[in-house]
Amino acid sequence: MRSPHRALQSFALAAAVSLSSGCAMIDRMTGESVARPLRQFGASAEAEILRVWDTGITINDDPVVGMEVEVLPADRDSFRAEIPRSVVSRIAIPRFQPGERIAVRYDPHDLRLVALDDPPFPAARPLPLTRSEPAARSLSRASSRCVGADAAPAAS
Domain ranges of the chain: 12-116
pLDDT tens for 126-153 read 555 555 555 445 444 544 455 554 555 5
- What's the first-to-final CA gap in the chain, in angstroms? 96
> Strand locations in the chain, DSSP E?
43-59, 62-72, 79-87, 101-107, 110-116
Contact present, 29 and 62 (Cβ < 8 Å): no
In this model, does residue 67 exceed pLDDT 50? yes
Q: What is the pLDDT of residue 19?
A: 44
According to DSSP, residue 115 is labeled E
Q: Is the pLDDT of residue 15 over 60?
A: no
Measured CA to CA, the distance from residue 116 to residue 34 in angstroms comes to: 10
Kind and range of the H or E element at 133? Answer: helix 133-145
Quick one: which of 22, 31, 38 has its CA closest to 88?
A: 31
Helices (H) and strands (E) in the chain, counts: 3, 5
pLDDT of residue 120: 84
Split at pLDDT 50, 70, 90, the class of 33 is confident
Burial 76-95 (b: 16+ CB within 10 A, else e): eeebebebbbbbbeeeeeee
In this structure, is the dihedral angle defined by the CA atoms of residues 21, 62, 70 and 53, taken in order, positive or negative? positive
Name, in order, each residue with C-beta under 8 angstroms of 34's C-beta and a sequence gap of 6 or more: 113, 115
36-56 pLDDT tens trace: 889 999 999 999 999 999 999
Least confident span in 6-15, 20-29, 60-69: 20-29
- The reported pLDDT for the residue numbered 35 is 85
